[in-house]
Amino acid sequence: MRAMRGAAVAIALAATGGAAGETVYKCEAGGRTIYQQTPCAQGQRQQAIQLADPAPPAEPSAPPRPPPAAEEGPAAAPVAPRSFTPPPTLFGCIRATDGKPYTSPDGEPQPYMAPLGVLGAVSQSLADTYGSRGAAIASAPELNRGKGNAAAVATSNYVWVQDQCRQLSPAEACGALRDEAEANQRAIRQAFKSERGPLEAKDAQLRQQLQGCD
């Protein structure tokens, strides 16, 4: 019955246009029940119904606050990229005349002329050469013509020669440059002040080449 009464009050409220918080009158007469906003007419049974105020709408919950951002320290200064210096390229060469080693930046030494004698073309000693029957032993040049003096031919004739080279590995090139730099430093310490200019220029060049050996 209570549920039916509540439904009837709601229907009456909708019909009368009542709002929450107002008084509605229940009027009964002749077996009929009427709900209205004004008091009942004389002779009707009246019951005043106070409508309850609706509950205030729930406030929307505030969105969750984001966690505080972590304090950042001062930005680190950008690190400049280290310039790359390639290892030096050197060639190890052998001198054709005496077999002594040396280094070359390009490995293409120019051919040059050398006496035939320094290349080992004459294997016999000078005593055997000048002591043979066909040897020219006279001091007068005209007496030596046509005698076939091998030593004279070897020392007076030149041939074209060229040194042989091969490319050194980076480790070999760095070792050769360090040896050359140490020798040049010794030469600088022993040289007069007026003689140090070319040696110091060579020292600067060697230091630049050795940057690729670090």
How many angstroms separate the first and last alpha carbons of the chain?
Answer: 101
- pTM value? 0.45
Domain count across the chain:
3
Average pLDDT over residues 51-65: 70
Name the range with the highest mean pLDDT among 10-14, 27-31, 90-94: 90-94
pLDDT-derived band at 28 (thresholds 50, 70, 90) equals confident
Of the candidates 135, 134, 118, the one whose C-alpha atom is nearest the C-alpha of residue 126 is 135
**Helix or strand (DSSP H, E) at 209:** helix 196-210
Does residue 145 sit in the same domain as residue 41?
no
Does residue 34 sit in the same domain as residue 139?
no
**Predicted confidence (pLDDT) per residue in 145-176, tens digit:** 444 455 555 556 889 999 999 999 999 999 99
Q: Is 30 left (phi over 0), alpha (psi -120 to 50) or beta?
A: left
Does residue 178 sit in the same domain as residue 89?
yes
CB-count burial class (<10 Å; 0-12, 13-18, 19+) for 177: buried
Does residue 38 sit in the same domain as residue 127?
no
Is the per-residue pLDDT at 40 higher than 70?
yes
Which residue range forms the structural domain that includes residue 186? 85-93+167-214
Q: What's the confidence (pLDDT) of residue 146?
A: 46
Residue type, 29: A
Does residue 39 sit in the same domain as residue 130?
no
Q: What's the confidence (pLDDT) of residue 132?
A: 47
More confident residue, 110 or 72: 110
Q: What's the confidence (pLDDT) of residue 100?
A: 92
